[in-house]
């Protein structure tokens, strides 16, 4: 357990979370780590809360991260990062997209979206990095690369080489979008 | 050494079927089992594979193939085995000829299921052996292993996985396919294959004897592994729990049961003698625990560990270790929930909106459209199992008679109607019911991720095939032609009128609400709509549709142009013509 790295990805169905966790897992495998990745699909692939676990290290047993055991939380949407924040270790880090996506009850005007989500995340993570990945993706001309931008930022924190990430990204995105995704990875990578 | 792959348990099972020389594979899709056949189809040159209308038929086809003498796999989710239980129980008596592995994918925690049944009981119930892999490598290897046991002991074998095996990806080393011979002809043997009472009576002792032999086999088989460590603590476990045990009790001795039914009793007794204290760690029911306790061995299990929901390391630690771990970070309470919703452009939305407005009772079924229960649509009152809505509607009519006459609708999807709704309809016909059934025909099995079915005109192996017409089928079963209507659920008025008119009739009616799933690749999205803020009176009517593309911002309705499919249903509920799109004014 102590020699593994536990990454939790949380966001909203349709944001590319499953592809992102696939890329991180395969990059870790490429680096020679043992890897386990787990998520639940079925209900709620569109618009529901989605969470995926990636664990890598010399030898991994559990495919499921328990509460309080995540080293890093990669948030695709601030509210979802806050919802799953209690899985983080006390010295864990949070990287989150600031793109807000309203859940249906909020969209329908029945409940308010909570205030100061990023500030509240700062009380959870030892280090919290937040930026608008959607805006960066739009600047690149395609709002679908939010996930690759987040992977780029995550790469700064991991012991997986950028080379491995890039190779895996190139193998796993649609051929036409390889260049765009590699650019998106770099944009995330260079993000302060 | 072949290159290591990162495979989900389901992908690994497909790979295992390929490597073990399987020639026939059948299934009905159901989470978490669906991807097994979706990946076997990659090997369609070597393995014939099909979606069957339901699990019972899938099982029956698989049984035929195994009787014919080839290696066969049939896959289903846990509740699917309930549907297939009838042929399965007798299959235990006949045994097989070619190896037959039955994959049951259980769903602890009910991530996408209506109950949490522990299908290990089926192994005991039917007296067939069961293997439980703990990761993808084992999931792959155990398919071949199960087929070997199946052929050696002339028995079907259950391969029991859970969501955390099916949908977790772990490292797998692939191998080559080993071809198995195909018999020249079917070798007749009615005493073995024809289960009339006289023959079945002779088979039952064979079943009991077989179970004893497999139990003996399990004593020596390397699939039941002892990891010798500390003598202070021993853990008996199987399946996914093994991984949690390895993390939490790294120093303990472990008996890992890969062949978890029938139990290797002597091996368990020997293990028990070598350790001071024994934990039995298993998700859901005390399946191993009760059998081990019945052997007179003292163990700690469900008196401390939960018998509901899936495990993780924290649950095991908190249940069994003295000192409780304090959570450093508490979950944040009172966050807005993010419930799943029918997709933007979903054709079911129009039907549920209409049913809600009509205020009728609705018996529902299993599929995407079960989301019709979620506010603001809130238009579903029962969901029991695949196909139940049709029978449930008729039963409610029988119970309440005139009090519910014209006030109850059964809804069912196209694939689900094919699965087991059709027999419910036959029952209503035969017993002179007058129910109104709405078939939500979105031209695909949508919930599990778009599998072909008998109404889509395509097979799993992507071949063209017959396309069953639901309206014609209904009339063929005896529903009067004038009581069978096909409507487009994007048209609210037509939907409302059709359902209302059919409800008023004192005869059985079928309304086929036909419109392709908005996520089908063949569906083109139209120009998105927007809200003309000058015309919008902020009445909130459009929000009653529960469309994820319509949001409330600063008190006004707004349409998210990225999500909007241009279906136009919302334009029909707006009393002020405030929902428009570019070009509308030019017309």
Residues with Cβ within 8 Å of residue B26, at least 6 apart in sequence: B37, B49, B50, B51, B52, B57, B58, B59, B61, B62, B72, B73, B74, B75
pLDDT of B470 above 80: yes
Compute the nearest-CA separation of B487 from chain A (Å). 26
How far apart, in whole angstroms, are the C-alpha atoms of residue B283 and residue B164? 11
Instruction: Collapse the DSSP code of B201 into the 3-class scheme (helix H, G, I; strand E, B; otherwise coil) and give the result.
Output: helix
Q: What is the pLDDT of residue A110?
A: 85
* B230-254 per-position pLDDT tens digit: 999 999 999 999 999 999 999 999 9
How far apart, in whole angstroms, are the C-alpha atoms of residue A15 and residue A12? 6
How many CB atoms lie under 10 A from the CB of residue B374? 18
A19/B contact by beta carbon, under 8 A: no
How far apart, in whole angstroms, are the C-alpha atoms of residue A151 and residue A186? 9
Q: What percent of chain A has pLDDT over 90?
A: 84
Q: Rounded mean pLDDT of B179-187?
A: 96
pTM for the model stands at: 0.95
Instruction: Name the residue of chain B whose CA is nearest to A61's CA.
Output: B243
Q: Rounded mean pLDDT of B157-177?
A: 98
Task: Please state whether B522 falls in left (phi above 0), alpha (psi between -120 and 50) or beta.
Answer: alpha
Instruction: Collapse the DSSP code of B530 into the 3-class scheme (helix H, G, I; strand E, B; otherwise coil) and give the result.
Output: strand
Q: Rounded mean pLDDT of B510-521?
A: 96
Check if the beta carbon of residue A37 is closer than 8 Å to that of residue A7. no
Higher pLDDT, B29 or A44: B29
For residue B170, list chain A residues with Cβ-Cβ distance below 8 A.
35-37, 60, 63
How far apart, in whole angstroms, are the C-alpha atoms of residue B419 and residue B354? 26
* Structural element, H or E, at residue B124: helix B120-126
pLDDT bucket at A2, cuts 50 / 70 / 90:
low
How far apart, in whole angstroms, are the C-alpha atoms of residue B187 and residue B178? 23
pLDDT of A47 above 80: no
* B479-508 per-position pLDDT tens digit: 999 999 999 999 999 999 999 999 999 999
pLDDT of A170 above 60: yes
Q: What is the pLDDT of residue A1?
A: 45
Chain B window 432-451: which residues touch A at a Cβ cutoff of 8 Å? 447-449
Residue B497 exposed, middle or buried by CB count within 10 Å (0-12, 13-18, 19+): middle
Contact A63 B171 (CB under 8 A): no
Q: What is the pLDDT of residue B587?
A: 45
Tokens of B204: 């039952």
Q: What is the pLDDT of residue A192?
A: 83
For residue B551, list chain A residues with Cβ-Cβ distance below 8 A.
102, 106-108
Residue from B420, B425, B422, B450 nearest B436 by CA: B425
Residue from A51, A70, A35 nearest B338 by CA: A51
Q: What percent of chain B has pLDDT over 70?
A: 98
Instruction: Collapse the DSSP code of A174 into the 3-class scheme (helix H, G, I; strand E, B; otherwise coil) and give the result.
Output: coil
Q: Rounded mean pLDDT of B243-268?
A: 97
pLDDT bucket at B513, cuts 50 / 70 / 90:
very high
- What residues pair up with B440 in beta bridges, in sequence order? B413, B513
Q: In what order do the strands lie in the sheet with B252-257?
A: B224-227, B252-257, B230-237, B277-281
Contact B168 A34 (CB under 8 A): no
pLDDT of B391 above 90: yes
Contact B164 A38 (CB under 8 A): yes
B112/A contact by beta carbon, under 8 A: yes
* A173-190 per-position pLDDT tens digit: 999 999 999 999 999 999
Compute the nearest-CA separation of B436 from chain A (Å). 28
- What residues pair up with B364 in beta bridges, in sequence order? B383
Q: What is the pLDDT of residue B554?
A: 83
Half-sphere CA count of B293, side-chain side, radius 13 A? 12
Average pLDDT, chain A: 93
DSSP B451: B
Check if the beta carbon of residue A151 is closer than 8 Å to that of residue A76. no
Residues with Cβ within 8 Å of residue A121, at least 6 apart in sequence: A75, A78, A81, A82, A85, A94, A96, A128, A130
Half-sphere CA count of A54, side-chain side, radius 13 A? 25
Residues with Cβ within 8 Å of residue A26, at least 6 apart in sequence: A35, A168, A171, A172, B6
Higher pLDDT, B320 or A45: B320
pLDDT bucket at B1, cuts 50 / 70 / 90:
low
* A94-148 per-position pLDDT tens digit: 999 999 998 888 888 889 999 999 999 999 999 999 999 999 999 999 999 999 9
For residue A38, list chain B residues with Cβ-Cβ distance below 8 A.
164, 167-169
Q: Rounded mean pLDDT of B369-390?
A: 95
Residues with Cβ within 8 Å of residue B380, at least 6 apart in sequence: B352, B362, B364, B369, B370, B372, B373, B411
Q: How far is C-alpha A172 from the geometric centre of its chain's CA atoms?
A: 16
- What residues pair up with B74 in beta bridges, in sequence order? B26, B102
A129/B contact by beta carbon, under 8 A: no
Q: What's the first-to-final CA gap in chain A, in angstroms?
A: 30
- What residues pair up with B25 in beta bridges, in sequence order? B49, B73
How far apart, in whole angstroms, are the C-alpha atoms of residue B253 and residue B235? 6
Check if the beta carbon of residue A29 is closer than 8 Å to that of residue A35. yes
How far apart, in whole angstroms, are the C-alpha atoms of residue B183 and residue B378? 56
How far apart, in whole angstroms, are the C-alpha atoms of residue B142 and residue B180? 17
**Pairs of CB atoms within 8 A across A/B:** 167
Chain B window 46-65: which residues touch A at a Cβ cutoff of 8 Å? none
- Residue whose structure tokens are 């004014």: B585
Contact A36 B340 (CB under 8 A): no
ipTM for the whole complex: 0.93
Q: Rounded mean pLDDT of A148-161?
A: 97
A67/B contact by beta carbon, under 8 A: yes
Compute the nearest-CA separation of A48 from chain B (Å). 5
Instruction: Collapse the DSSP code of B531 into the 3-class scheme (helix H, G, I; strand E, B; otherwise coil) and give the result.
Output: strand
Half-sphere CA count of B484, side-chain side, radius 13 A? 14
Chain B window 339-358: which residues touch A at a Cβ cutoff of 8 Å? 339-341, 343
**Cα–Cα distances in angstroms (integers) from residue B109 to residues B35, B88, B170, B301, in the given order:** 19, 26, 21, 19
């Amino acid at each position: 357990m102590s020699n593994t790295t536990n990454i939790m990805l949380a966001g909203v169905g349709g944001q590319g979370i499953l592809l992102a966790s696939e890329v991180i897992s395969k990059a870790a495998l490429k680096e020679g780590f043992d890897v386990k990745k787990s998520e639940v699909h079925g209900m709620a692939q569109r618009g529901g809360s989605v969470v995926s676990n990636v664990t890598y290290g010399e030898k991994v047993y559990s495919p499921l991260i328990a509460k309080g055991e995540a080293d890093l939380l990669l948030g695709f949407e601030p509210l979802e990062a806050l919802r799953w924040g209690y899985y983080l270790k006390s010295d864990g880090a949070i990287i989150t997209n600031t793109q807000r996506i309203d859940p249906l009850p909020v969209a329908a005007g029945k409940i308010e979206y909570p205030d100061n989500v990023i500030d509240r995340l700062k009380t959870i993570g030892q280090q919290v990095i937040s930026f608008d990945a959607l805006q960066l993706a739009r600047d690149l001309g395609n709002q679908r690369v939010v996930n690759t931008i987040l992977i780029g930022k995550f790469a700064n924190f991991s012991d997986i080489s950028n080379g491995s990430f890039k190779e895996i990204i190139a193998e796993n995105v649609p051929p036409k979008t390889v260049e765009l995704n590699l650019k998106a990875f770099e944009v995330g990578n260079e993000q302060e | 050494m072949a290159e290591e792959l990162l495979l989900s348990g389901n992908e690994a099972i497909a790979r295992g079927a390929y490597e073990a020389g399987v020639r026939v594979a059948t299934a009905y899709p159901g989470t978490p089992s669906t991807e097994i056949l979706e990946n076997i189809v990659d090997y369609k040159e070597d393995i014939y594979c099909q979606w069957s209308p339901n699990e019972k038929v899938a099982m029956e086809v698989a049984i035929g193939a195994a009787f014919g003498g080839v290696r066969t796999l049939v896959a289903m989710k846990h509740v699917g085995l309930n549907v297939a239980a009838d042929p399965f129980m007798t299959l235990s008596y006949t045994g097989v000829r070619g190896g037959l592995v039955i994959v049951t994918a259980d769903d602890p925690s009910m991530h996408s299921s209506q109950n949490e049944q522990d299908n290990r009981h089926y192994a005991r119930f039917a007296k067939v052996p069961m293997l439980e892999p703990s990761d993808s490598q084992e999931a792959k290897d155990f398919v071949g292993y199960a087929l070997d046991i199946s052929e050696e002991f002339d028995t079907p074998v259950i391969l029991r996985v859970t969501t955390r095996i099916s949908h977790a990806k772990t490292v797998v080393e692939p191998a080559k396919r080993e071809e198995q011979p195909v018999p020249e002809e079917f070798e007749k043997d009615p005493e073995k294959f024809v289960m009339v009472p006289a023959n079945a009576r002779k088979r039952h002792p064979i079943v009991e004897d077989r179970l004893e032999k497999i139990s003996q086999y399990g004593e020596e088989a390397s699939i039941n592994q002892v990891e010798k460590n500390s003598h202070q603590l021993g853990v008996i476990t199987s399946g996914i729990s093994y991984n949690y045990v390895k993390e939490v009790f790294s120093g303990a001795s472990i008996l890992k049961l890969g062949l978890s039914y029938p139990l290797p009793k002597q091996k368990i007794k020997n293990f028990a003698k070598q350790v001071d204290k024994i934990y039995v760690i298993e998700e859901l029911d005390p399946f191993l625990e009760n059998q081990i306790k019945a052997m007179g061995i003292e163990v700690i299990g469900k008196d401390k560990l939960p018998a509901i929901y899936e495990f993780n390391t924290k649950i095991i630690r908190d249940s069994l270790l003295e000192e409780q771990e304090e959570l450093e970070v508490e979950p944040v309470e009172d966050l807005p929930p993010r419930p799943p919703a029918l997709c933007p452009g979903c054709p079911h939305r129009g039907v549920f909106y209409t049913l809600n407005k009509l205020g009728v009772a609705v018996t529902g079924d299993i599929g995407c459209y079960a989301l019709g229960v979620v506010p603001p649509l809130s238009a579903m009152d029962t969901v029991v199992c695949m196909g139940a809505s049709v029978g449930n509607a008729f039963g409610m009519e029988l119970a309440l008679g005139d009090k519910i006459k014209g006030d109850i609708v059964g809804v069912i999807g196209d694939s689900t109607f094919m699965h087991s709704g059709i027999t419910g309809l036959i029952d209503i016909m035969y017993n002179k019911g007058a129910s109104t059934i709405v078939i939500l025909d979105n031209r695909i099995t949508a919930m599990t991720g778009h599998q072909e079915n008998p109404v889509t005109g395509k097979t799993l192996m992507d071949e063209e095939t017959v396309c069953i017409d639901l309206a014609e089928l209904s009339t063929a079963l005896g529903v009067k032609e004038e009581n069978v209507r096909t409507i487009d659920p994007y048209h609210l008025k037509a939907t409302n009128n059709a359902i209302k008119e059919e409800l008023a009739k004192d005869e059985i009616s079928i309304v086929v609400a036909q419109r392709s799933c908005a996520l089908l690749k063949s569906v083109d999205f139209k120009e998105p709509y927007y809200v003309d803020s000058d015309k919008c009176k902020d009445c909130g009517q459009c929000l009653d549709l529960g469309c994820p593309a319509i949001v409330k911002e600063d008190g006004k309705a707004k349409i998210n142009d990225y999500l909007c499919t241009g279906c136009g249903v919302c334009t029909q509920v707006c009393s002020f013509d405030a929902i428009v799109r570019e070009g509308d004014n030019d017309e």
